[in-house]
A and B are shown apart, each in its own frame.
Chain A
Amino acid sequence: MAFDYSPWLRSDMMPHIWCPGCGVGIIVKALIRAMDACGWKQDATAMVSGIGCTSRAPGYVNMNTLHTTHGRALTFATGIKLARPETNVVVISGDGDAAAIGGNHLIHTCRRNIDLTLIIVNNAIYGMTGGQYSPTSPPETRAATAPYGNLDPAFDLCELCKAAGATYVARAHVGNAVFMERLIRGGMQHKGFAVIEVMANCHTQYGRRNKHPDPAELMHFIASGAVALAQWEKMSPEERQGKYPIGVLHKDTTKPELCERYAMLGERAMAKARKEARTEEKETITARDEILGATSGEN
């Protein structure tokens, strides 16, 4: 029943900095439970983040943690994973961090299908910096930099990642932490790039400006948009307005993962180098023998 978070938490740093009611804490807990369920060990696991409220998470988790620059977490994580492919690397990032400044890295990491697990905490706002709109803020919502309403449509991050080549794409919301944990677990166990988008509540910056100032109420509002995938597939475009599918939206286990592909490349390269070395050696010996042979012939 009760989960013992203490081995996974840097208790010295608690209580954490997130606002009362902020969904990030719920997601970090689900992430911890998922890692535990997968049998991941703290020593062999790295957590990487960028910048933002979500990105403060690694500071509270007891493992190898890396808090990088805005939008670039996936690039640092790629370096860690390629250098130590046998380890577990999880990336946690907000919607602005992952999809705005980090957008290029997001699509390429999807394309490469490297074995990382990415949790995108999508609260549709830039919380840490005071409530500016993000690429996932719904149109017409208010923000610090959209005082008259956001003009832009929002990304469907799951569709984006799927199109870019991610081989495990799932979505949950913050009020569904048990399901969220299972989806994250599935991503961690998947060999390839896994993205789990979690619709989250930021009542302080998003909610306050958009008629949802209470965290619990905002959680209910977010939950009201969730539709199980099987149901979603039967819905018409009109019915889909204002809703989003949750669950495992895409999974492909047929695509080889990057570290595996690179290992095979390494074997080929080493075999080729050895062959070339033998050829060179033979050529050197042949040349030497010819010279020696010519000399001894004169004798």
Chain B
Amino acid sequence: MAGGAGLPPAPQSQTMKLVKTVSSSGLYTLVVNETWCKGCRICVDLCPTHVLEMVEAPDRWEGAIVRVAQMDACNGCGICEVECPDFAISVYAPEKKKPVKAGETAK
């Protein structure tokens, strides 16, 4: 098959650098996949202890993504994780903390 002009653009994830943000309270750790978060606000809405907030991100889907506001308030309920539609947030208990991967920034 002849190659040549007009090669297709690579799928989004291959051009987007995967950025994950890790926040830890010593009790629980939250990992936010900032690349996959679409800023739908469901996690902020459902979090019972106001751990999360939306921050402006003009280049994003809804103009915002999620950020951890008060990690200490996290009670590890995991509602944000199960209700996030985008596989973008995970909650860890300390003994099962995953190693921080390259590209992640620890807060």
Contact = CB atoms under 8 A, between A and B. Distances in A.
Check whether chain A touches chain B (CB < 8 angstroms). Answer: yes
B98 interface: yes
Contacts of A3: 81, 90
A219 B42 contact: yes
Interface string A236-254: 0000000000000000000
A215 B14 contact: no
Interface residues of A, number: 31
Nearest to A178: B82
Nearest to A216: B45
B42 A30 contact: no
A21 B38 CA distance: 8
Nearest to B40: A21
For A12, A20, A22, A175, the residue with the greatest tally of chain B CB atoms inside 10 Å of its CB is A20
Interface of A: 1-3, 5, 9, 11-16, 18-26, 29-30, 175, 177-178, 181, 214-217, 219
Given A21-B40, A23-B85, A25-B86, A12 B11 contact: yes
Contact of A2 (B11, B40, B62, B91): B91
A155 to B, nearest CB: 25
A2 B90 contact: yes
B12 A15 contact: yes
Nearest to B97: A2
B13 A20 contact: no
